[in-house]
C-alpha cells in the first residue's frame, strides 16, 4: 500500500517514527499540489489541512480513495465531504490510539489503512475537538487562568502537572508544541455552547501574537 502524506515539522517526524510496517510505502509531499499529484497512492493524509472551500474541493478530487484530514476544530458536517477526520495536532500521533471521525463507509476504509500501518484507532463523535484535544485545550486554558491569578509561574505549573499527573508535557510546553492559535480557535468554538471553555484573556492575547 502507498500512502501520500502532507505533513511538516514535528508531525512529519511523528508519522515517520510511528511507521513500522514494511508493507507500506510512505510518500511525503511538501505542498498540496504535490499531494494531489501523488494520484497513484492508495490513501492520502493532509496533516496541514485548513477548512477553506478551494482546498476542500481539490482534496475531494482524490475521492473515493480514503482522504484523511487533520481537522480538529471543523467537523465533517461543516466540510461537506466524506473525508476522514484525524486528530493530528503536534504530539497527538505519538499516542497509542488515533482519534478519527468518519461516516460508516469511510470507517472501513480507515480500518484497512490503519491495519496496514499497524496503528490502533478509535472512532469518536464528529464534534469540534473530538475527545483528547478538548481535554488538552481545557487543561491549557485552566493553566493560563491559574497563571493569570498569580498563583504560580508557567515553569512551576508545567513541573507540577508533569509530576502530579505523569503527563508527557506541562500545559505551557504542550501549548507551544501544538500552537496557541489552534488551541485558542478550538476553545473559542467550544465556548459558543459551553462556558466551561471560555478562553483566558492571557491565552487569547498570546495566541494573537503567536509566531
Retrieve residue 30's grid coordinates: 511538501
Q: How far apart are CA 35 and CA 70, in angstroms?
A: 14
Q: What is the mean pLDDT of the chain?
A: 93
Q: Is 80 left (phi over 0), alpha (psi -120 to 50) or beta?
A: left
Domain spans in the chain, listed from the N-terminal domain onward: 2-123, 132-208
Q: How far apart are CA 125 and CA 75, in angstroms?
A: 9
Residue 101's beta-bridge partner residues? 85
Across residues 37-52, what is the average pLDDT?
94
Q: How far apart are CA 36 and CA 61, in angstroms?
A: 8
Residue 28's beta-bridge partner residues? 5
Which residue has better confidence, 77 or 210? Answer: 77
* Domain formed by 132-208, architecture: Orthogonal Bundle (1.10)
Q: For the segment 179-208, what is each residue's pLDDT rounded down to a tens digit?
A: 999 999 999 999 999 999 999 999 999 998
Sheet holding 120-123, edge to edge: 25-29, 2-6, 43-46, 67-69, 84-86, 97-101, 120-123
Residues 6+ apart with CB under 8 A from 194: none
Across residues 75-85, what is the average pLDDT?
97
Between CA 178 and CA 183, with CA 179 as vertex, the angle to 5 degrees is 90
The CATH fold assigned to 2-123 is: Rossmann fold (3.40.50)
Which residue has better confidence, 58 or 162? Answer: 58
What pLDDT is stored for residue 172 in this prediction? 95
Across residues 42-64, what is the average pLDDT?
96
Residue 122's beta-bridge partner residues? 99
Amino acid at each position: 500500500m502507498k500512502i501520500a502524506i502532507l505533513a511538516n515539522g514535528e508531525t512529519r517526524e511523528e508519522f515517520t517514527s510511528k511507521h513500522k510496517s514494511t508493507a507500506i510505502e510512505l510518500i511525503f509531499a511538501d505542498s498540496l499540489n504535490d499531494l494531489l499529484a501523488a494520484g497513484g497512492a492508495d490513501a492520502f493524509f493532509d496533516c496541514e489541512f485548513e477548512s477553506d472551500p478551494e482546498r476542500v474541493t481539490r482534496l475531494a478530487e482524490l475521492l473515493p480513495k480514503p482522504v484523511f484530514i487533520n481537522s480538529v476544530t471543523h467537523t465533517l458536517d461543516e466540510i461537506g465531504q466524506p473525508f476522514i477526520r484525524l486528530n493530528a495536532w503536534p504530539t497527538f500521533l505519538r499516542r497509542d490510539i488515533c482519534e478519527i471521525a468518519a461516516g460508516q463507509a469511510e470507517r472501513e476504509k480507515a480500518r484497512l489503512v490503519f491495519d496496514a500501518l499497524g496503528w490502533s484507532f478509535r472512532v469518536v463523535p464528529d464534534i469540534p475537538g473530538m475527545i483528547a484535544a478538548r481535554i488538552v485545550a481545557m487543561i491549557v486554558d485552566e493553566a493560563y487562568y491559574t497563571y493569570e491569578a498569580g498563583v504560580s509561574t508557567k515553569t512551576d505549573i508545567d513541573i507540577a502537572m508533569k509530576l502530579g499527573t505523569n503527563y508527557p508535557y506541562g500545559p505551557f510546553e504542550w501549548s507551544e508544541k501544538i500552537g496557541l492559535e489552534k488551541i485558542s480557535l478550538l476553545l473559542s468554538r467550544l465556548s459558543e455552547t459551553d462556558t466551561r471553555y471560555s478562553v483566558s484573556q492571557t491565552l487569547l492575547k498570546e495566541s494573537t501574537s503567536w509566531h
